[in-house]
Structure 1
Amino acid sequence: MAAGKWASVGILLVVECFALSLWFVSAAILPGMMAETEITPFRQAALSSGVQLGFVAGALVSAVLGLPDRFDPRRVMGIAAVSAGVINLTLLVSVPGSTAAIAARFMTGAMLAGVYPVGMKIAVGWGEKDRGFLVGTLLGALILGSALPHLFALTGSGDWRLTVLIASIAAIFAGLVGQLASLGPHHARAARFDPSVVVTAWTNRKIRLAYAGYFGHMWELYSMWAWIAVIAALSYARHMPEERAATLASVTAFVSIASGTVTSVIGGRIADRVGKADVALYAMVVSGACAVFTAIAFGGPVWLFFLIVVLWGASISPDSPQFSALVADNAPSHQAGSLMTLQTALGFALTFFTVQATPVLAEWWGWPPVIAIMALGPAFGIYAMARLTATP
């Protein structure tokens, strides 16, 4: 018996949540790996930024080849999730921080490009009037999945290998259970990547500003997600033993990232009423301010630092789906898919550099200035959204 709309959407949420738990595995297990072997700041960053770079490569290859169009998207998603889980298992036999481990993270990111975007394609096939809600809900699942490795780390009794194993099994399970979903009545073939969209992305003012806002958002988002556990552990260590600080840091990272799950769904509902650009602007005002306050509170009272970081995590996510929706709203219908693909690829390419540079700059300058620099992204995005709302 074929799964109905909400059963299929529920299955997709499980797939996205469990498969995307692979994204920040390296961030969650980094303290454990470094306790066993010395890893340079460059390689520490590469374990996380490699996923971003792999995702960009995978997304472009998938778009150019039209994989979800030529084959059943459920099969594409399933193969990608299972492959990502298997590849992630190679971390168990690789030297921590080695070239082989970094390569595994790159390939994991490439496979995840066949999970999240393809899941979005399946989800929107189940509705037209409620597509904003469907997209926001799926993004919420991605956010929760991004937070899960920090929860897994709490169950590992200090053994980072158990976290790797749990996340890999979750991704493999996700790929298999995803085959139970059905395709909705509005499922259609998406346009393949059209090179001419580069011209549209630059000449269409509203799309150009939506891109700019998205880039500012991505400047901040993945740097925060990738390094907040490390930042929190260092801050807490000034007031408690390192082991206890590391445990509380994992809790902080999970709660702060996962809080964006709820705010993204709520933000999507509000955006349909007050405007997508307005919701994105207000979210970036709050997240940018939180970045500055986090830098100021670094090393300060534990309770204060925790509250600010949780608010930061709650405010850093709701704007994300609005940028894609703004592109879709203002794009020619035959170019919407390609323009969103290009937007995603360029945004994640930017995160490769920001995630990679963050620990290196922190080693030179200390963490507070680097945290404050993250606020430059929202500031740029606020300017872009203000100009977009003023555009007729």
Structure 2
Amino acid sequence: MMNLFRRYPLPVIVIAQLFGTSLWFSVNGVWLSFSRELALTESDLGLMTLSVQAGFISGTLLLAVTGLADRFGASVMFAVASVVGALVNAGFILAAGVFPLALVLRFLTGLCLAGIYPLGMKMVIAWTPRYAGAALAWLVGMLTLGTALPHLMRGATLGMPWQWPLAGASVLALIGAGLIWRLGDGPHLPKSAGPVPLRKGLVALGMPRFRAVAGGYMGHMWELYAFWMLTPLLVGRELDRLALPDSLVPWLAFAIIALGSLGCIGGGRLSRTRGSEWVARVALTASGTLCVIYPLISGLPAGFLLLALCCWGVAVVADSPQFSALAAANAPREFVGSSLSVMNAIGFGLTLPAIWLTSGLWQSLGVWVVWILVPGPILGLWSLAASRRAA
């Protein structure tokens, strides 16, 4: 079995990533019934999402400051983070009625996710360095599918207690931990010889090419997670216009977010011939265009707008693995893990104000709130242009 795992490492990593990242939006997936039972608002949803993001940022900064991402085996850290994350997510079920404690537990969930996503990227590079763009596309595709998975689980358990999908996410994370534990570390990246100070994780930001790529990633991140948070709300608006039951919200939210995995994988295939930078630029242009025009066409038939959301779901994340591949290719080889952790920390830091603004202003602005996301694609495209000059 061990030889089989090592013969096909990429499927093992991406499946483990899918299962581990189901913890990320596990609460969002059960939000309708969860919020009704506990009398919570969209702003409360924003706070819970922000708590996860804040935990993830803190975890990636911890990895960068301590150099853990380059000092210890990525497989061990991934497995431990998945197990602890599963336990914390299960603890949320018991503490959900105490809002401050619930926020703390969501923060801790994000902290654990910092040991899953960045370390998953490092494992992909360590096992399949030749086609990093295509391989990372599968990894981010599974992150996207993992983000959507709670919505599917909620749709499949309608009429059942909201606790069931949350418990299911914890079980999946435990399975993912077991898969990575059996796989172990790849052979193609060296370990750091000792402690890695924070300045080593920041070295790459002093390199013009890496800095330009990181700027593109940051613009992309301003849009991505806020869009995912808004997806059930945007879907609910169109279902109301169609006079359809809100029981369809989790199914459609799952479909829109999950379609992003196809964008990632398709972009990964294109990257082999057109290059990662070309794929990132096209995806950013498409998602930015939809960001601008969506409120302007909000009076069109609801079915058309749901189709537009599906297109947006494909484009909004298709550039993510390509930014990671470009960053990994332009970071100092001995500090790849720490460099990616720093970039992730800054990028996810930008998701905080984006989520806070869009969730807080949804009730007053409605669909026009998506214009808050427009600066992200603009920054990303400007930075990609700088990337070409720095090449």
**d(CA) in 2 for partners of 1:175 and 1:99?**
28
2:278 corresponds to 1:278: yes
1:279-294 paired onto structure 2 within 5 Å = 279-294=279-294
Q: Which stretch has the larger CA shift, 319-328 or 188-197?
A: 188-197
Which sits farther off after the overlay, 279-288 or 74-83?
74-83
Secondary structure, aligned partner of 2:318? coil
**1:234 matched to 2:244:** no
SS in 2 for 1:87: helix
Residue type at the aligned position of 1:218: M
Identity, in percent, stands at 31
The worse-fitting range, judged by mean Cα deviation, of 98-107 and 285-294 is 285-294
Q: CA deviation at 1:315?
A: 0.5
**1:112-157 alpha-carbon deviations (Å, 9 max, x no partner):** 1111222222222223322222222111111111110010010222
Give the 3-state SS of the residue equivalent to 1:3 in structure 2: helix
Higher mean Cα deviation, 292-301 or 26-35?
292-301
8 Å Cα contact 2:55/2:107 also seen in 1: yes
Match of 1:195 in 2: 199
Q: Secondary structure at the match of 2:153?
A: helix
Structure 2 residue matching 1:63: 3-state secondary structure: helix
Question: What is the CA distance between 1:107 and its match in structure 2?
Answer: 0.2
Q: CA deviation at 1:391?
A: 4.2
Check if 1:210 corresponds to 2:209.
no
Q: Which amino acid aligns with 2:235?
A: A
Match for residue 167 of structure 1? 169
| Contact 2:279 2:319 (C-alpha < 8 Å) held by counterparts | yes
User: Are the aligned partners of 2:212 and 2:386 in contact in 1 as well (CA < 8 Å)?
Assistant: yes
TM-score by length of structure 1 reads 0.91
Q: Supply the distance in 2 between the matched residues of 1:13 and 1:306 (Cα, whole angstroms).
A: 28
Residue in structure 2 matched with residue 89 of structure 1 by the alignment = 90
SS at match of 2:8: helix
Q: Under a length normalisation based on structure 2, what TM-score does the superposition of the two structures give?
A: 0.91
The number of residues matched between the two structures is 387
Closer/same/farther in 2, CA of residues 187 and 329 from structure 1, 3 Å limit: closer
Alpha-carbon deviation of 1:299? 6.1
Code of the residue aligned with 2:302 in structure 1: it is V
**Farther-moved stretch of structure 1 (171-180 vs 104-113):** 171-180
Q: 2: distance between equivalents of 1:260 and 1:44?
A: 22
CA drift of 1:97 comes to: 7.0
Are residues 299 and 171 of structure 1, via their aligned partners in 2, closer, same or farther at CA, if it must alter by over 3 Å?
Answer: farther
Counterpart of 2:377, as a letter, is P
C-alpha distance in structure 2 between counterparts of 1:236 and 1:97, whole Å: 31
The structure-2 alpha-carbon separation of the partners of 1:198 and 1:128, relative to structure 1 and needing over 3 Å to count, comes to closer
CA distances 1:167-207 after superposition (whole Å, capped 9, x unpaired)? 11111222123222143332431583541554651x43322
Q: Which structure 2 segments of 5+ residues have no match?
A: none
- Distance in 2, Cα, partners of 1:200 & 1:108: 28
Q: Which residue of 2 aligns with 1:348?
A: 348
Residue 178 to residue 205, structure 1, CA distance change in 2 (3 Å): closer
Alignment of 1:57-136 (within 5 A): 57-96=58-97, 98-136=99-137
Contact 1:295 1:367 in 2 (8 A): no
Q: CA RMSD in A?
A: 2.2
Give the letter for the 2:268 counterpart.
Answer: G
One-letter amino acid of the structure 1 residue matched with residue 101 of structure 2: A
Quick check: 335-344 or 292-301, which moved more?
A: 292-301
Equivalent pair of 1:297/1:304 in contact (CA under 8 Å) = no
Contact 1:207 1:331 in 2 (8 A): yes
SS of the residue corresponding to residue 39 of structure 2 reads coil
| 2-structure distance, mates of 1:58, 1:386 | 31
Partner of 1:387 in structure 2? 386
1:221 aligns with 2:220: no
Name the CA distance, whole Å, in 1 between partners of 2:306 and 2:98.
Answer: 29
In 2, Cα distance between the equivalents of 1:172 and 1:125?
Answer: 23
In 2 relative to 1, CA 391–60 (structure 1 residues): closer, same or farther, beyond 3 Å? closer
Distance 1:128 1:200, change over 3 A: closer
Task: Tell me what 1:308 maps to.
Answer: 308
Counterparts of 1:193 and 1:283, CA distance in 2: 35
C-alpha displacement at 1:15, in angstroms?
A: 1.0
Measure the CA separation in 2 of the matches of 1:161 and 1:300: 37
Per-residue CA deviation, residues 307-365 of structure 1 (Å, 9 max, x unaligned), is 1011001001121122222233333434444322211110011112211221112223x
AA at the equivalent of 1:359 = S
